[in-house]
Amino acid sequence: MKKPYLLILICLIFASATSAQEIYRWVDEKGTIHFADDMSLVPEKYRDKAQKKSVPKGVPSPPRETREDASDETPPQKTDRTGRGEEWWRARAKECHDQLLEAKKNHESAQAELRSKEKELEESTFKPKSLKRKLNAEIKGLEAKVKEWERKRAEAENVLEKVLPKEAEEYGADPDWIQIKESMQN
């Protein structure tokens, strides 16, 4: 009769020894501290630096990945209502700015090419009609290109000046996050 009690006692001792839960702690490049209860949730570039810690079973585990808010640590990054921070909004603004620059550049290029073809047509007074027809067709194609790049330019300007600021306001993002810095404008 003593053997079943002994077996139960051994099982209880073994269970209490393994009752600690493992969590992993790592710090990202911004100094933010993260926790995860599964090593696969730790980004690969931080796995070699992740510290394994044991937490007793009675202590509630943190969410699957969380940031430690300590006064001596880097303050938490500001985010909008969806959790997107300054970096995301600046990247979005830069993307829109780059689209505007591309549209302006292509618009100017198409206009220059159009002026060149119009000049070539003017100078082809004594050239064959087939050449004039070809130049007229090319001019029509270039006019369509110019209009398309004008449309894309206006669209990009609208996004930068109206749409993006409205989105930032709706999502509670800091308006400074979408301002194009001088270094980006050049």
Instruction: Flag the least confident range among 2-6, 30-34, 56-60.
Output: 56-60
Predicted confidence at residue 69, as pLDDT, reads 47
Q: Is the pTM of this model over 0.85?
A: no
**Token pair listed for 9:** 């006692």
45-69 confidence digits (pLDDT tens): 888 888 877 655 554 555 554 444 4
Q: Long-range CB contacts (< 8 A, 24+ apart) of 55-62? A: 55/20, 55/21, 55/22, 55/23, 56/19, 56/20, 56/21, 57/19, 57/20, 57/21, 59/21, 61/21, 61/23, 61/37, 62/23, 62/35, 62/37
- Four-point Cα dihedral 97, 98, 104, 105, nearest 10: 160
83 or 35: which carries more pLDDT confidence?
83
| Mean pLDDT within 131-139 | 90
How far, in Å, CA of 41 to CA of 15, rounded? 26
